[in-house]
Structure 1
């Protein structure tokens, strides 16, 4: 006998997986139906004026629709479904489901519309403005996103346990020196999500480079791929240090770097972090009410409450030892 999935999981799957699959399939079918009466090559890019300025083979439109229309929702779903099945809840999950639905209808409608407006043309250069299709796609995307948001149940965000840290006993002497060091790496879930996003971007880049005759489009595409790859490399491994200067979290590449001096710390806590529910994902994150964080995985972390109400969290192994030393140094400094 199987256990029925909770309502939040079922509805998320409907709006973030099934609905995008249906919308994308319909869009691809419409494009294939129109293909015999479409020019070849077709217009695949429009400038800011709304007029066509880039052209490519007819297969580019349905392939792009399938890759982006299915790939992006699946990527968003992959980053959320495991947490939902564990029992995690929160607005971030509802937003991911709504975004997946909105993206699928936006991409599907926009690309199908761009093909439909070229039906019967002998030369794609005569294609009318894409702006009406873009406006319609945006409206439909927002509308479906709102519906998908309300279809999913509103459940309170999951929060891990919080423990206010006491100073070391016995306390640090006035002349004693102590340093606590740890290295934290991006968890498997975060790596899968980021690697999948990079793969989708590379596939889109390959298609763009293969069919685009624009040097500017080629340069921009390559720059975007390189920047994303560099960002993943810079945010996959962090070194965490607690010493007499405070709490320092530095990427293995040296940047980004976060430093919280002792005099800026008002309270130190050990927390159990639920990345998706609390921060909407992994990596360098900011969340309303949760402050800024270096969130590499689920589990224990050090959270410091700073002057002015600011909060910083870093997930790290043996957070209890690091937090205890940080609190001891803070007490001694005070």
Structure 2
């Protein structure tokens, strides 16, 4: 972080804790002006169609922000990914805080929850966009730039390919069981939301969360004489190819997801990373462009074949010795 003692940094660091308290205290302080239960669900037309107890709404909002804030403090103190954690906690602060504010405002001075003011999907969309903008701003203020942290852990063994020969290598890897479990639970939740006709906002939120998770629970890699191709997730989408004509060598590396900001497709200074788990992977070195980092089982075999192909084509460039 460029200025760890600056006023802006201190505000960004401690204000979420204050907001967590406010989210709990304020609704209880004005509970005499609110119906109990409150309207907490609205249909697509904006009319209230579901309710919940005031204390539960206040507690859930407050605890969610408080937990995110504690994680943020921890990452700041150990000096790791503070900009990413800050962006996520402030995204949550704006989203959860905004939802509670809209909910309280819609119910204020109403006799029953059925009398609550309309709350259409347009407001929710604006809130999500605002939360994203604030999160990005916090990321920038907290020094949101990262460089490729990976280090080659050893030379890639030759695959024995000689001039005129052709070979193909295919490999895959899967995310950790816990990550896969979360993806499956959210996917099942999405299906249940549709079957039992839960709030459209809840159902849409689950679907939007489940799809990216399903996209990044596995990864397949194919190395040919012309390109390295990646397929993500159970749908095989996205599919990306990196021509060997733009690569000068492949290295075997140890990948730590948190060093790149998490799982999925990550962008850091000097690299673009496809990450579904911790452990071995390959780095495709591209002069004048960002390197490509890929987590895949059998990384040494993939890197060895790539380097052999580059050697037979006269394009291999060895790493400079330190």
Give the TM-score of the pair, scaled to structure 1: 0.63
Q: In the alignment, is the contact (CA less than 8 A) between 2:24 and 2:61 conserved in 1?
A: yes
Q: Tell me if 1:58 matches 2:57.
A: no
Q: Tell me if 1:122 matches 2:111.
A: yes
Q: Which residue pairs with 2:257 in the alignment?
A: 275
Q: In the alignment, is the contact (CA less than 8 A) between 2:86 and 2:138 conserved in 1?
A: no
Alignment RMSD (CA, Å): 5.2
SS at match of 1:100: helix
Q: Tell me if 1:323 matches 2:303.
A: yes
SS at match of 1:247: strand
SS at match of 2:277: coil
Task: Please list the CA deviations of residues 74-121 of structure 1 after superposition, one character each: whole Å capped at 9, or x if unmatched.
Answer: 7x759x84x985x655xxx31322431452255235414632563333
Q: 1:272 to 1:36 in 2, by over 3 A?
A: same
Equivalent-residue separation in structure 2 for 1:266 and 1:307 (angstroms): 7
Q: Which residue pairs with 2:149 in the alignment?
A: 159
Q: How many residues align?
A: 303
Q: In the alignment, is the contact (CA less than 8 A) between 1:106 and 1:138 conserved in 2?
A: no
Q: In the alignment, is the contact (CA less than 8 A) between 1:61 and 1:115 conserved in 2?
A: no
Q: In the alignment, is the contact (CA less than 8 A) between 1:241 and 1:248 conserved in 2?
A: yes
Equivalent-residue separation in structure 1 for 2:210 and 2:313 (angstroms): 41
Q: 1:177 to 1:141 in 2, by over 3 A?
A: closer
Q: 1:241 to 1:77 in 2, by over 3 A?
A: farther
Q: In the alignment, is the contact (CA less than 8 A) between 1:159 and 1:277 conserved in 2?
A: yes
Q: Which residue pairs with 2:85 in the alignment?
A: 96
Q: Which residue pairs with 1:3 in the alignment?
A: none
Gaps of 5+ in 1: 1-6
Q: Which residue pairs with 1:35 in the alignment?
A: 31
How do residues 1-334 of structure 1 correspond to structure 2 at under 5 angstroms?
Answer: 20-45=16-41, 53-59=48-54, 61-66=57-62, 68-70=64-66, 77=72, 81=75, 85=78, 88=80, 93-104=82-93, 106-108=95-97, 110-112=99-101, 114-115=103-104, 118-124=107-113, 127=116, 157=147, 159-162=149-152, 168=158, 172-187=161-176, 191=179, 195=182, 218-219=199-200, 221-226=202-207, 228-251=209-232, 253-256=234-237, 258-260=239-241, 262-270=243-251, 271-278=253-260, 280-283=261-264, 285-305=265-285, 309=289, 311-333=291-313
Equivalent-residue separation in structure 2 for 1:183 and 1:140 (angstroms): 36
Give the TM-score of the pair, scaled to structure 2: 0.65
Q: 1:264 to 1:48 in 2, by over 3 A?
A: farther
Q: Which residue pairs with 2:320 in the alignment?
A: none
Task: Please list the CA deviations of residues 127-179 of structure 1 after superposition, one character each: whole Å capped at 9, or x if unmatched.
Answer: 56779x999999899789967975x688975722258978949x622354544
